[in-house]
Chain A
Amino acid sequence: NAGVTQTPKFRVLKTGQSMTLLCAQDMNHEYMYWYRQDPGMGLRLIHYSVGEGTTAKGEVPDGYNVSRLKKQNFLLGLESAAPSQTSVYFCASSLGTAKNIQYFGAGTRLSVL
């Protein structure tokens, strides 16, 4: 039972480069989320999706784009990476209502030089 799988686990980028983080879930969850974790700030929501083909902005969406072409996949893109995007990125999924537990992937550690 894989749950939520994130790839890659680590990545180093140079300023201005682009990349895509992939999140896949096998629990048939409707909702998917991308968070970033920075020291002393907990997790902050970047973008989320309430179903296949839908995306919406979270608290800190600038500099990121997302796509949810398939229900099980949620992609996070950085078009032109900046050092401020150095962070640990977590993907999560849930059934969708307030009571539903969000299940997290193992995280992607990204460094932008």
Chain B
Amino acid sequence: AQKVTQAQTEISVVEKEDVTLDCVYETRDTTYYLFWYKQPPSGELVFLIRRNSFDEQNEISGRYSWNFQKSTSSFNFTITASQVVDSAVYFCARSETFQGAQKLVFGQGTRLTINP
């Protein structure tokens, strides 16, 4: 299986620090999509961003930014000036064709704790 790897199992920082969550993926596909999801303590999975493999422009949304580098198969997520509400488990995922259908391959998740 072509994996998605989030090497950081847990990260703990103090509020207002910047933090980067790493994501590295494997794929044989030329076209694919990358995603980040947030799972807050309440448990639901919340979609954050989708990136097309042909679009390597970085994206910024408020305090969140994403750095996609196809050459290193990485799609890292940075939170600037972190806040306690950012505490959650974050999942990186990649689309994959599976038996003719589309599915997501998830990384193991990174548990981010923002301390006041």
- The answer to whether A and B assemble together is yes
Complex contacts, B52 vs chain A, CB 8 Å: 99
Find out whether the CB atom of A58 lies under 8 angstroms from the CB atom of B107.
no
Find out whether the CB atom of A99 lies under 8 angstroms from the CB atom of B103.
no
Residue from the list B35, B37, B103 in contact with A33, Cβ < 8 A: B103
Residue from the list A42, A58, A59, A97 in contact with B108, Cβ < 8 A: A42
Residue from the list B43, B95, B106 in contact with A42, Cβ < 8 A: B106
Complex contacts, B70 vs chain A, CB 8 Å: none
Find out whether the CB atom of B50 lies under 8 angstroms from the CB atom of A103.
no
Q: A41-B108, A101-B50, A107-B43 are in contact. Are A58 and B103 (CB under 8 A)?
A: yes
Give CA–CA (A55, B32) in the complex, Å: 23
Residue from the list B31, B44, B47, B109 in contact with A101, Cβ < 8 A: B47
Complex contacts, B32 vs chain A, CB 8 Å: 98
B33 on interface, CB distance cutoff 8 Å = yes
Complex contacts, A45 vs chain B, CB 8 Å: 98, 103-104
Find out whether the CB atom of A31 lies under 8 angstroms from the CB atom of B91.
no
Interface string of A46-58 (1 = CB under 8 A from B): 0010100000101
In the complex, which residue of chain B has the Cβ closest to the Cβ of A107?
B43
Interface string of B72-116 (1 = CB under 8 A from A): 000000000000000000010001011101111011110000000
Complex contacts, A48 vs chain B, CB 8 Å: 101, 103
30-71 of chain B: CB within 8 A of chain A: 31-33, 35, 37, 42-45, 47, 50, 52
Residue from the list B1, B31, B45, B50 in contact with A104, Cβ < 8 A: B45
B9 on interface, CB distance cutoff 8 Å = yes
Give CA–CA (A5, B104) in the complex, Å: 20
In the complex, which residue of chain B has the Cβ closest to the Cβ of A57?
B99
A84 on interface, CB distance cutoff 8 Å = no
Find out whether the CB atom of B50 lies under 8 angstroms from the CB atom of A106.
no
Q: How far is the CB of B56 from chain A (nearest CB, A)?
A: 16
Find out whether the CB atom of B44 lies under 8 angstroms from the CB atom of A96.
no
Residue from the list A42, A58, A100, A106 in contact with B102, Cβ < 8 A: A100
Give 10 nearest A-B pairs by CB, closest first. Answer: A42-B106, A104-B45, A98-B95, A43-B106, A106-B44, A42-B108, A98-B102, A107-B43, A99-B33, A50-B101
